[in-house]
Amino acid sequence: MIKERLFGNEMKYLQEVLDAGFRASSGAFMMKRFEQAFSERFGMKHGVAFVNGTATMHAALESWGIGEGDEVIVPPLTMASTTFAVLQCNATPVYADIDPDTFQISADSIAKNITEKTKAIITVAIFGLSPDMTPIMALARKHGLKVLEDNAECFLGKYNDQLVGTIGDCASFSFQNSKHLTSGEGGIVITDDDEFADKLRKVVSLGYAGVSAKSGKVTRKDIQDPNYERHAMLGWNYRMPDLCCAVALAQVENIDALVDRRMQVGKLFGEVVHPYREWFKPQFTPDNCVHSYWTFVAQLLRNDLTWHEFRDEFQSNGGDGVYACWKLTYDEPFMKHHNFLNRERYINKERLENYRSGICPIAEKVQPNLFQFKTNYWDFSQAEKQAEILAKTLAHFHQ
């Protein structure tokens, strides 16, 4: 039974990195161990580590050659980083609406938004649940589109008995401090595509000619040669530091326990909410999915009760901070005012004018009424206490 988040080899592996003294000759040894452990846990051939879970998506799109004039379909109900990655490529984000019960990107809406300019789809396993991937993958194959799974919030979730993150062409994970596994910051992309992984490694590593899917380090012999041609292409310095990789490796070793705790808490909250589901509706988990519960989410369906009133009562009873859902990305100021650091010039006028309320009506109805409850209670007694407070709050408002 775990009582804290960091309980494995984190300190041991950090010490190994420090003992190596950051010498160039020993550089990236922990990154290689981490990448191998993570990709093997998901049954994938390649893992490429990144400084964060936004750089992962930007680099993946760049590795597919996506750029000016290309369109990438994304959900509006998620953290804005998913859209940022598209804009960083000088490409155009196109928003598909969500399913009203699962809150996931809708395959039907994706289909309506595919044009001759569409090059990729980014799915987001929002709150820890998989989107309905079968029809999405069918659309992608029909139209020759790439699928990037944004799984920042979903570790060990399943869809049709398949791990989320092993369904699309590649998958991105984040190790930011709120995620199932953390190293403070960091990210990784996993894939079975050899050619893509080689390109991705160069994108993440300053375009170095000597790196590949299996090697993230240029040899000393090469780098010391005055005739060595270092940079085969444009790339970014997106590499994950070995100190972060050390912590992430230790977290991977305990991934089952860390994810299982969140699933236990999510199911506990689900039991509490169940009697009130007609007006406090939890995120629906289809029978073919396993939810990994990055957060437990429910939608308030009462005209006589506001989001803030429920939040205030919950907190007055001793509840922890409850989180709202992000504003829809296209409703954020940077989208409304086209503050894209001059990248707005790459997006046609019609698309720019379309970034406004009304394009995803289901998401617009759902977003203001969502509550996200924490699931990262390493002392389970604290989770039980919060469940009791939630039950008390629900009973208070029940009619």
Query: Closest Cα to residue 183, out of 135, 253, 275?
Result: 253
**Cβ-contact 190, 149 below 8 angstroms:** no
Give domain status of residue 373, yes or no: yes
Whole-number Å distance between alpha carbons of 69 and 13: 45
What is the domain extent for residue 316?
Answer: 257-325+363-397
CATH number of residue 104's parent domain: 3.40.640.10
- Tell me: do 164 and 202 sit in the same domain: yes
**Cβ-contact 123, 148 below 8 angstroms:** yes
Whole-number Å distance between alpha carbons of 38 and 36: 6
Give domain status of residue 313, yes or no: yes
Rg (CA), the chain: 22
- Tell me: do 217 and 105 sit in the same domain: yes
Which of 232, 254, 276 marks a domain boundary? 254
- Tell me: do 302 and 192 sit in the same domain: no
- Tell me: do 220 and 262 sit in the same domain: no
Q: What is the pLDDT of residue 371?
A: 98
Whole-number Å distance between alpha carbons of 46 and 213: 7
Query: Closest Cα to residue 31, out of 263, 215, 171, 256?
Result: 215
* Token output for 113: 């938004």
Q: 268-315 pLDDT, tens per residue?
A: 999 999 999 999 999 999 999 999 999 999 999 999 999 999 999 999
Q: What is the pLDDT of residue 22?
A: 84
Q: What is the pLDDT of residue 12?
A: 97
Whole-number Å distance between alpha carbons of 109 and 147: 15
- Tell me: do 171 and 314 sit in the same domain: no
Q: What is the pLDDT of residue 219?
A: 66
Beta-sheet pairing, 146-150 with 187-191: unpaired
Which of 229, 254, 279 marks a domain boundary? 254
Q: 311-346 pLDDT, tens per residue?
A: 999 999 999 989 999 999 999 999 999 999 999 999
> What is the tally of structural domains in the chain?
2
- Tell me: do 184 and 265 sit in the same domain: no
Q: What's the average model confidence in pLDDT over 125-145?
A: 98
Q: Is the pTM of this model over 0.85?
A: yes
- Tell me: do 385 and 370 sit in the same domain: yes
- Tell me: do 186 and 284 sit in the same domain: no
Q: Is the pLDDT of residue 225 over 90?
A: no
Instruction: Identify the active-site residue in 32, 119, 179, 199.
Output: 179
Whole-number Å distance between alpha carbons of 187 and 176: 8
First-to-last C-alpha distance (Å) of the chain: 39
112 is known as an active-site residue: no
What sign for the dihedral angle of Cα 176, 264, 41, 290? negative
Q: 20-58 pLDDT, tens per residue?
A: 988 766 668 999 999 999 999 999 999 999 999 999 999
Query: Closest Cα to residue 90, out of 251, 221, 234, 231?
Result: 234
Whole-number Å distance between alpha carbons of 345 and 312: 44
- Tell me: do 64 and 128 sit in the same domain: yes
- Tell me: do 141 and 279 sit in the same domain: no
Q: Which stretches of the chain are DSSP H helices?
A: 10-19, 29-41, 55-63, 81-88, 107-113, 133-143, 194-204, 220-223, 242-253, 255-273, 307-316, 333-336, 349-354, 361-366, 380-397
Give domain status of residue 269, yes or no: yes
- Tell me: do 231 and 311 sit in the same domain: no
Q: 98-115 pLDDT, tens per residue?
A: 999 999 999 999 999 999
Which of 219, 254, 289 marks a domain boundary? 254
Mean pLDDT, all residues of the chain: 95
